[in-house]
Structure 1
Amino acid sequence: MSEIRKVSASAGAEWLLTGFGLLKRAPLALGSLGILWGLGTSLVLSLSLLVPALGTLLQFLLLLAGPLFMGGLLWAVREVDQGRPARPAHLLQGVQEGRAPHLLVALLPQLVGALLLGTLLLVLVGGPSGFQHLSEVMLKLNELSQSGTQPDPAQIEALVATLPAGRILLWLLLMLATFAALTLALFVMPPQVMFQRATGVHALRQSLRASIHNLPAMLVFFVLAFIAIFAIYFAVMIVALVIGLIAGQAAAMAVAQLLLMAVLMPVFAGAVYAAWKQMLAPADAGSTPPPSSGHVFEA
């Protein structure tokens, strides 16, 4: 079992800066991997709409591809960090290295969490009849919001009053707690599988322990990451607005999605890689992430 190192709260900011710094070192190479990921996702979703009979199968394949692509993107990030070029083939490096089964273990806690939350919701709202009533109320509220007229507050209040508000609030709190636990367990799981040859279950356990052990750094990282995502999204929407005036809204939305994938996925992978190096990586992997430029936010 690898040693879990304690880092300062400011390390969370360093992880994010490292992600931007690595993207800045190889923007085309790493950005193209994010675009390939986005193109693959868009293609699968388009096929599922064109061929509804294959929709479930295609979306299941897309679900399986997520952990594999993340493992490959992390491999490409390490190549850039160590002075080697990132290549499109790296996106499937997890399959080539025989790490696919262990990367796919990342789906296991998500499946268990979804089943538990679904069961809890069913119990808290009073069984199948209560769940059906909740669905009907949500459908009516959605119809009121899309009617184009000002909804009657009394009508909305009457609909909400028929629901077990306290139990639904409890379920929402449990959902937030489950999401937080899954995030901590999955955060540095893929780099352990790819670079330390750890099994999927062991990597999940170590990721959860390392994240809890360094909770202040995790909180700093996610707060700053939220701010960065908002800023990137705002910049991409400005670009999409210009493209929309030239080529139409469909082209603008497609370009916006690919630009977001080209920036967000490599930056997030770089941050995860930096967090793994500081908290869990063996000594020969280097525990200090590469220095970041002071101008990374200008990009």
Structure 2
Amino acid sequence: MSTINKVPASAGAEWLLGGFALLKRAPLPLATLAVLWGLVSMAVMLVAVMLPAAMLAMQLLLVLAGPLFFAGMLWAVREVDQGRTPVPSNLVQPVRDGHALALVITLLPQFAAALVMGALLFVLVGTEQLQHLADVYQKMQAIAEAGGQPDPSLVEGLPAGRLLLWLLLVTIVFVAVKWMTFVASPQILFSGTRVMDAMRNSLRACAQNWPAMLVFYLLAGIAIFAIGMGSFMVALLLQLLLGPLIAMALWQFTLMAVVMPVLAGAAYTAWQQMLGEGTAITPGLPASSPSRIEV
């Protein structure tokens, strides 16, 4: 039986601040790990470009490796939290510890949701209406490229109500899937929880603390947008010296070097507060006193 801590809505801000605080304690080592993953991903995609027959396999490989990389970042931020310096080998530590299969299984809800929602789209809308929707989209795109104004009559007859219902269901399912995996990886890595139990606990913890989740997503979106725009402006200046290709590559690596450690640190802090032993204390912030709910 797992214990879920009830945290205030302000905890969502604490999680994000915790991620930034952990990055601040070891900026270069954590950024290096994120950039290393970016370089590996780039190398895989270059192989896929040179071998078109292997494109799908390479893309699938990157998807499967995503949870393993994020788990490696979680391991690295815990090293920082415990006063140690993260090293590149931290990225493969979850695999060494035998957690690779469990971490890959956390992708199953996403695959299942995609299949179910795809089938539901055909059930709600129908093949003919989907083809009609595709035709309308192509016509509107052609009109826009020609500089004209789309004709409102093009959208007449489209099943707007059923499409909106499907989009609402997609949003609900998307949130549920994200909540199932939000703090599942830390449980698997650091608590030894079985993968299905970890995803169930993660979903319940996020549902119990939905105000904190809402605050976290809102602030994380603002922070990522601000970091992305700031670094993009610097890249625009650098392209005058280095060229657009190198400048854009540097922008993407810079964004990854900041965002990935912060998100890993935020997930680690959220796990400590909601499901870990005790409550994580963000440096410079007072401790909260969460209530405990047995599930």
Residues 35 and 262 in structure 1, CA contact (< 8 A), matched pair in contact too: yes
Residues 132, 43 of structure 1: alpha-carbon distance in 2 compared, 3 angstrom cutoff: farther
2:257 to 255, 262, 265: 262
Contact 2:15 2:266 in 1 (8 A): yes
Contact 1:11 1:217 in 2 (8 A): yes
Please name the residue that 2:143 is paired with: 144
Distance 2:266 2:134 in 1: 39
Q: Is the 8 A contact 1:122 1:130 kept in 2?
A: no
Which residue in 2 is equivalent to 1:296?
none
Indicate the residue corresponding to 1:181 in structure 2.
176
2:238 matched residue in structure 1 = 243
Find the partner of 1:282 among 253, 267, 277.
277
Give the drift of 1:290: 4.1
Aligned residue in 2 for 1:17: 17
CA contact (8 A) 2:129 2:159 kept: no
Q: Percent identity?
A: 51
For residues 130-175 of structure 1, give each alpha carbon's deviation from its aligned partner in whole angstroms, at most 9, with x where no partner exists: 3333223223333333x2x322232xx2322242111111111111
Q: TM-score, normalised by structure 1?
A: 0.91
Contact 2:14 2:282 in 1 (8 A): no
| Structure 2 alignment gaps of length 5 or more | 286-295
Residue 231 (1) aligns with residue 226 (2):
yes
Corresponding residue for residue 79 of structure 1: 79
Q: Matched residue pairs, number?
A: 285
Mapped to 1, the partners of 2:284 and 2:91 lie a distance apart of 24
CA contact (8 A) 2:17 2:282 kept: no
Amino acid of the residue matched to residue 132 of structure 1?
Q
Tell which deviates more after alignment, 117-126 or 132-141: 132-141
Partners of 2:258 and 2:252 in 1: how far apart?
Answer: 10
Give the equivalent residue in structure 1 for 2:51. Answer: 51
- Calculate the TM-score normalised by the size of structure 2: 0.92
Q: How does 1:144-163 map to 2 (within 5 A)?
A: 144-145=143-144, 147=145, 149-154=146-151, 157-163=152-158
**Unaligned residue ranges in structure 1 (runs of 5+):** 294-299
Structure 1 runs (4+) greater than 6 angstroms displaced:
none
Q: Read off the aligned partner of 1:7 and give its amino acid letter.
A: V
Give the secondary structure class of the aligned counterpart of 1:5.
strand
Partners of 2:119 and 2:96 in 1: CA distance: 38
